[in-house]
Amino acid sequence: MPERPAPLVLLVDDYPDAREMYTEYLRFAGFRVAEAGSGAEAIDQAARLQPDIILMDLSLPGMDGWEATRRLKAAARTRAIPVLALTGHALEGYSAEAKRVGCDGFLTKPCLPDVLVAEIRRLLDDTGADAAAG
């Protein structure tokens, strides 16, 4: 039986430094990582790559993460992919609103890398996609 590849994380953030930092840590934690710098790019990458999970910054230029998540969850091809909101906005109500638009989880930045990985694994366990990442 062939070994399943490590889960693919689509990391969506408009700041290259943030993408680089999270990418390095996620790879260290055993994940494969693809990156997107905008909501539109996230939708395109998600449809093309079919990642196991999407980490979505909600504050993006152009199409923000709120709208990108709405569109991902409305499309048959991407609706089952868990979306974890990863945002600098910690205002009351943001978590509930993120869940309303389709996010499966919510973390505020900055967050400890171990907390991020634990939440990714929790969401992947919920969908059965984390068999390979240990």
The pTM of this model reads 0.90
Taking alpha carbons only, the member of 93, 40, 95 closest to residue 69 is 40
Record the tokens describing residue 35, joined without a space.
């990156």
Q: How confident is the model at residue 94 (pLDDT cuts 50, 70, 90)?
A: confident
Domains and their CATH numbers in the chain: 8-111 (3.40.50.2300)
20-34: average pLDDT:
96
On whether the CB atoms of residues 2 and 26 are closer than 8 A, the answer is no
Handedness of CA 20, 40, 57, 99 (dihedral sign): negative
